[in-house]
Amino acid sequence: MVARHNPPLIAARSFEAAARHKSFQKAATELNVTPTAISHQVKRLEDYLGQALFVRLNRAVELTADGVALARTLQDIFVRLEQALDPDSRRTRSTINISAMPSLAAKWLAPRLPGFEARHPQWQIRLDAQDELVDFSSGKVDVALRYGAGKYPGLHAQYWMDASVFPVCSPALLETIALSEPADLRHHTLIHAESMAGCDRPPDWADWLAAAQAGKIDARRGPRFNSIYMALEAAQAGHGVALAPAPLVERDLASGRLVKPLALELANPFAFWIVCPPHSLQDQKIMALFAWLQEQAAQLSAADAAPLSRTAPAYS
């Protein structure tokens, strides 16, 4: 057996704590040693690497570029080490923790999860529905399912599903007010979801009405919700017409809870992505989940979610 080259692990641990806190004093408090001991250990690591990791200021320290890179690597390593040695973590290692936006969790994922657990009874799913960005270093999330432009620096992001956008409403709404062509929307309440902002964004009513050549309709009117989930719930309750990404309404359309009164669909610069730390790709249960999610997406019928080419969106 080849002997291991033993790095200074105590020094690495001291540096990681100091880098995370940006303070030798706080690192010392966490590790129950003196600030001088932290300083000595960091100096030992710098000597070992032949690199300066901190710039020492009068009353503070700042990481160098080499220090930033090493701190990121060590933080990931120590989180994984703590999880491996945590008795509670070891007892629940068969759990896959998934974070997903509430609309995707409720309308797409939750109804399908029993199928995954039936196929893989050795693993169980814990689903956390939230719109907030995920801190993978906390160890509380294994995989995030996200709706966006695919920009997740430092993480592995695998394209999952397109999300063409089209109007949906309750079938009861059409019993009182006709909606057979885009111009008819002038008689309907437009429901808006404002969960996304910035230059990269999904299509909104202004984009859809322009593509439908119904620009005379005021695209700004109607109630606004801070999540797609609430906008779709309002549409289902008969309060107006909402724009929906196709995967989020697949089951509602199939069951008749929602209808698609107008045929026009817009390509969407946003899509659904499966996101995780790169090291998680070595985990058998994570790869099994990836494969199952891709399989479920592929099984969407053409009537429910017609696949679109990944082209530029049909709006400016």
- Give the rounded percent of residues in the chain with a pLDDT score beyond 70: 87
**Number of other residues whose CB lies within 10 A of the CB of residue 269:** 18
Residue 148, class by beta-carbon neighbours within 10 Å (0-12 exposed, 13-18 middle, 19+ buried)? buried
193-216 as b/e, with b when 16 or more CB fall inside 10 Å?
bebbeeeebbbbbebbbbbbebee
Q: Is 240 left (phi over 0), alpha (psi -120 to 50) or beta?
A: left
HEC readout, 33-51: CCHHHHHHHHHHHHHHHCC
Both tokens of 289, joined, read: 């989940």
Helix (H) or strand (E) holding 251: helix 246-255
pLDDT digits 0-9 by tens, 2-20: 445 678 889 999 999 999 8
What pLDDT is stored for residue 305 in this prediction?
A: 41
d(CA 5, CA 11): 15
Least confident of 31-40, 114-123, 199-208, 305-314: 305-314
| pLDDT for residue 314 is more than 90 | no
Contact (Cβ atoms closer than 8 angstroms) between residue 165 and residue 208: yes
Both tokens of 44, joined, read: 């030992």
d(CA 250, CA 77): 40
Kindly indicate the confidence band of residue 77, based on its pLDDT and cuts at 50, 70 and 90.
Answer: confident
Contact (Cβ atoms closer than 8 angstroms) between residue 18 and residue 48: no
What pairs with residue 95 in β-bridges? Answer: 124
pLDDT digits 0-9 by tens, 182-202: 999 999 999 999 865 444 688
Both tokens of 155, joined, read: 């993480």
d(CA 167, CA 178): 14
Longest dimension (CA), the chain: 79
d(CA 286, CA 267): 30
Domains of the chain as residue ranges with CATH: 9-88 (1.10.10.10), 94-163+270-298 (3.40.190.10), 165-255 (3.40.190.10)
**Number of other residues whose CB lies within 10 A of the CB of residue 183:** 14
pLDDT digits 0-9 by tens, 233-273: 999 999 999 999 999 999 999 999 999 999 999 999 999 99
Contact (Cβ atoms closer than 8 angstroms) between residue 123 and residue 79: no
Both tokens of 2, joined, read: 């080849």
Residue at 81: amino acid letter: L
| pLDDT for residue 63 is more than 50 | yes
Contact (Cβ atoms closer than 8 angstroms) between residue 243 and residue 167: yes
Residue 272, class by beta-carbon neighbours within 10 Å (0-12 exposed, 13-18 middle, 19+ buried)? buried
State CA 182 to chain mean position distance: 33
- Closest by Cα among 108, 110, 228, 109 to 168: 228
What pLDDT is stored for residue 8 in this prediction?
A: 87
